[in-house]
Structure 1
Amino acid sequence: MSLSNDEIPQLIYLAFGPTTYHQEACFSIVSALAHLRNTPGQALQIQVFTDDPAPYALLPVTVHVLDEQTRHLWNQPHGYHFRSKHVALRQVLDHYKKAVLIDTDTFFRTSPAALMHRVETGTLLCNAFGGRYDHNTHCPLYTKLHGLLQQRGLADDGMPLVNSGVIGLTAQDSAILDRSIALMDECYPLAREAYSLEEFCLAVVAASTLKLSECTDVIHHYWSHKKQFRAKIQAWLHKHGADPLSHAALADIQNVSDQLPRPPLLHRLSYKVMSLTLPSQQRQFARELLYGSYPYANEFDRACATAWWDKARENMDQRHGHLGPEQLRRCLRRPGLRLTLGSRRKEVEQHLLATHKD
């Protein structure tokens, strides 16, 4: 039986700003299409709301170009940019019976059909459940909003939080987005420093009316370790960007794994032993450099080398203070680390010095 146009499930992306967000979105879309082949006969329409249509020219998607004025309007009255997620999904649900909005820093582990099957009336599909509301009583969401929400009977301490990297709803439940938007607008001036206000408001308004469902088995949301996963994606795009729907490109989706590249256990143990020859504040730094330098069999894992090195440097600076160029050279030339890095030592040194900021 064929579906009417408004019955076709909708997969929605918002992609604005720097190139990296468009790269993420393109890879996520292709991962959806690659896995969709495993569920033949499953209809799916993909819509992209963006400030730049060019990256999507080779993909079978519907592009909505949003000018700066429209995006500004969607973020009002306080300029809160995550508000636009709910606005976009609400508009799509005015025309379709089922839709899922997905963040760009995602890719599919299995067919998006599995995602759409979980979008049911009376259910909010999110990426993952968080902890209870009272698990962090020192965050702005609790210190600034707890009293107000309790007075209105909107949130008790045991309320489950959600990750809104995925938001799936039916049109019948779309009014939940209106309430979430209204609550965001009210609470933003009280807790403007709360980065996750958008998904918190969604959890609050859904708590008393909708069941919660998650989809971590279908979607990998790499909100942490972004440098490494972006490096994998950029390597895939460098290889397949000119023909992203070719047989080779779709096959290679499976080779961009959802795991951080780590050397085998024996190598990790040897790195740990070697690091004991270094000053304590340099040990984690050295191990992370070696994680990036390992010759992984997977080409996309090998592409994470500079991301590992950059992250090692960033972590070192945050934990122990800035490491100057001469200190860096001395660290990399200590006998244990120099021998373990081998032929890659000069490459590591040149990269870190080239990206060094005084």
Structure 2
Amino acid sequence: MPEYVARQLVYLVYGGKPEYHQEAKFSILSALHRARGECPRILIYTDEPAQFNGWPVEVIGLDLATLTAWTGPASYFHRRKAAAILDSFSYADQSIFIDTDTFFLDSPIKLFDALTESSWLVDEIEGVWKEYEGDDLHKALSPYLADHHGVDQQMLLINSGVLGFREDASHLMSETLTLIDVMHPAVPKIHIIEQFAVSVAARHLGRPAQARGIVKHYFSGKAYWRQMIAFFFQRHGQMFSSQIVDAVRELPTAKPRPAWWQRLDFRFRSLFVPSRYRSQAKLAYYAAVMRANPYVEACGYAYAEELRRKITTQRGNLNDQPWSKVLSGCNRQRLIQMLGALEGEF
């Protein structure tokens, strides 16, 4: 088992999909790159320990029995995150959990510095419970939470993509697991119950510090970052080295867009495209023109993939599509090639 340390970053990656391991590895590389030799211990919970052979991390292997137990009585997969966080408290004074779909913009030490100013740390504060009045989550759970837990409408709701506590929070994460087991069956189609349960359990800790500016959590644009990260590992391989840590600087820290003059060109070209097709036109144009460098081009493929998902019921010659009017002949051919590479054929 890992030795006990003062501070650690904690990751959970399971499921066997290559993109999950690539996300985790790039996040780890970015932490090491930004830490400048002062990175806290990195602890990985994973069902594929061999993925991290040779990497400067500690690994706790997860077998099927553990993963199954961690889903709880309602078989809620995201419950495993709360279970891993609870377990990680056994190995450090302070543990900060990091989702895999992240990368560091600044030193991880600054996350721990933030915990000197607040009792807990989150990715970001997403709102107040009252603001969700009328939503399915609020309608289903507000009476229960008010009656059984004294939750008022001013409770802060958080994103748990980054989550840490200044002091041992084993009791809090145990409560989180109990809340998940009660609440998930009431709203089984809502996948954020894990972080909502943390909001409920930690509501007495006061306003949390936020990781914005230190960690980029790209949950809302995952396809774009995954394309760029996939290219990163295609270029550099997945064996750990000091060179691959330095290569982190290649990846953009903001989602690429076409150059300003290309965006202006699109505005003119889309003037006569019917409004209901304008979103497809934008995706098509962006995909075709984004070629400034390999990472921008990789991001372009994500635009093409999003377009492909939106036009699955519109098979036929691309030239017949109303949104294709924004494309020049060259860009039209480029898009056909990209869609063909993503799907086999258009």
Q: Does the TM-score normalized on the shorter chain lie above 0.5? A: yes
For residues 77 and 6 of structure 1, the distance between their equivalents in structure 2, rounded to whole angstroms, comes to 31
SS in 2 for 1:144: helix
TM-score scaled by structure 1? 0.88
Amino acid at match of 2:30: S
For residues 230 and 115 of structure 1, the distance between their equivalents in structure 2, rounded to whole angstroms, comes to 24
The equivalent residue for 2:4 is 6
The equivalent residue for 1:239 is 235
Matched, 1:190 2:186: yes
For residues 97 and 326 of structure 2, the distance between their equivalents in structure 1, rounded to whole angstroms, comes to 49
The equivalent residue for 1:260 is 255
For residues 63 and 261 of structure 1, the distance between their equivalents in structure 2, rounded to whole angstroms, comes to 34
The equivalent residue for 1:292 is 287
Of the structure 1 ranges 206-215 and 61-70, higher mean CA displacement relative to structure 2 is found in 206-215
SS in 2 for 1:58: coil
Of the structure 1 ranges 68-77 and 135-144, higher mean CA displacement relative to structure 2 is found in 135-144
TM-score scaled by structure 2? 0.91
Kindly report which structure 2 residues correspond to 1:52-67, keeping only aligned pairs within 5 A, or say none. 52-67=48-63
Matched, 1:278 2:268: no
The equivalent residue for 2:34 is 35
The equivalent residue for 2:329 is 339
The equivalent residue for 1:180 is 176
The equivalent residue for 2:90 is 94
Instruction: State whether residues 266 and 326 of structure 2, in contact with CA within 8 Å, keep that contact through their aligned partners in structure 1.
Output: no
For residues 344 and 325 of structure 1, the distance between their equivalents in structure 2, rounded to whole angstroms, comes to 17
Matched, 1:143 2:133: no
Structure 2, unmatched stretches of 5+, are none
Amino acid at match of 1:165: G
Alpha-carbon offset, residue 351 of structure 1:
3.8
Q: Deviations over 1:145-190 (max 9, x none)?
A: 1001111353211211000111112443332111111111121221
Instruction: State whether residues 283 and 303 of structure 2, in contact with CA within 8 Å, keep that contact through their aligned partners in structure 1.
Output: yes
Q: Deviations over 1:252-279 (max 9, x none)?
A: 3122123221112221121121123434
Q: 1:98 to 1:324 in 2, by over 3 A?
A: same
1:323 is aligned, of 314, 325, 328, to 314
The equivalent residue for 1:22 is 21
Structure 1, unmatched stretches of 5+, are none
For residues 93 and 333 of structure 1, the distance between their equivalents in structure 2, rounded to whole angstroms, comes to 53
For residues 208 and 92 of structure 1, the distance between their equivalents in structure 2, rounded to whole angstroms, comes to 22
Kindly report which structure 2 residues correspond to 1:117-156, keeping only aligned pairs within 5 A, or say none. 117-120=113-116, 123-156=119-152
For residues 335 and 80 of structure 2, the distance between their equivalents in structure 1, rounded to whole angstroms, comes to 46
Q: 1:242 to 1:158 in 2, by over 3 A?
A: closer
The equivalent residue for 1:350 is 340
Of the structure 1 ranges 158-167 and 116-125, higher mean CA displacement relative to structure 2 is found in 116-125
Count of residue pairs brought into register by the alignment: 343
SS in 2 for 1:12: strand
Alpha-carbon offset, residue 92 of structure 1:
1.6
Instruction: State whether residues 114 and 121 of structure 2, in contact with CA within 8 Å, keep that contact through their aligned partners in structure 1.
Output: yes
Instruction: State whether residues 119 and 206 of structure 2, in contact with CA within 8 Å, keep that contact through their aligned partners in structure 1.
Output: yes
